[in-house]
Structure 1
Amino acid sequence: MTPNGTAIRAIRAVRRMSLRELARLTRLDRGHLSRLERGLTGASEASLHRIATVLQVPFDDLVRGDDEPATDQPPAREVPAPGTPEGELFHYTPEEAARWLPWSAAWLRRRARLREVPHNRGGGLITFTGRDIGEISAMTAIRPEHAEPPDRSPE
């Protein structure tokens, strides 16, 4: 049983009820309800029953069946590898770019905001092209100054 945060938010909006009011009437934390509506957290069956009672809807309207896809999350998209011709100019989200780099999406966003790594800002969103990922990889690679090549002589 998975809470349907989109349904909770929509029903609350139709009832013209603020998040603060729903929190007060259900005696649940407003931050928790906000995260629940955005699909970032779950809720106990008892909490969902309290929400359903306050919103005056059947309990089943607030849960998603296990076979239903989560509509709160965008569908996964086909992502080419950055080193391929298709990936060279493809725009990757920080989460997608982090799959090919040894840094987290948060690290990439932070460095992009500080303008320390190449990135794009189309529509206010931070993205990285395959070229950007290659440059970031090259500029942040750890290179020892005086490394000896490995001994490859047979023993």
Structure 2
Amino acid sequence: MRLTAITAAAVLATGAAFADTVAPGDVQFGEYGDVATSLSGMAGDADKGSVIFSSRSKGNCAACHAVAQLPDVAFQGEVGPELTWTGEARTAEELRGIVANAKMTFPDTVMPAFYKTTGFTRPGDGYTGKAAQGDLSPILSAQEIEDVVAFLLTLQES
């Protein structure tokens, strides 16, 4: 009986954590690509965001962007803008929109949409006949987007 109560409480708590998550296809972008509300319904964790930013297996943001606050991250990129003072220059809403789908703010960018599941060009059918079918998974989850945004907001001169 006790195990059942604990399991039920865990299931309810998990459901509450995902209750406010915005699905990739339901993200509401503003006129200039900003996203006004949290995608996960929870605040981001800047420490986790730093790991995602630096991780080659997750966000891999450092492959294109340099950040002076991460001197231990090797081979920082020069393709995208340097983000050392991003927390002073951008709002959370702007950063959330850019990380979720940068093309909503910068239509000609080569930055991937980290929270998008549809609308991709799939040339595999023309070459191999084995292109993936259906929606793709987003590169980052809603909470991971919020974590990266929280990290980017810490990037300030002082």
Q: For the superposition of Structure 1 and Structure 2, which TM-score range results when normalised by the shorter chain?
A: under 0.3
**Which of the pair is proportionally richer in strand?**
1
TM-score w.r.t. length of structure 1 = 0.22
Larger Rg: 1
TM-score in terms of structure 2 length: 0.22
Which structure is higher in RCO with an 8 Å CA cutoff and minimum separation 6?
2
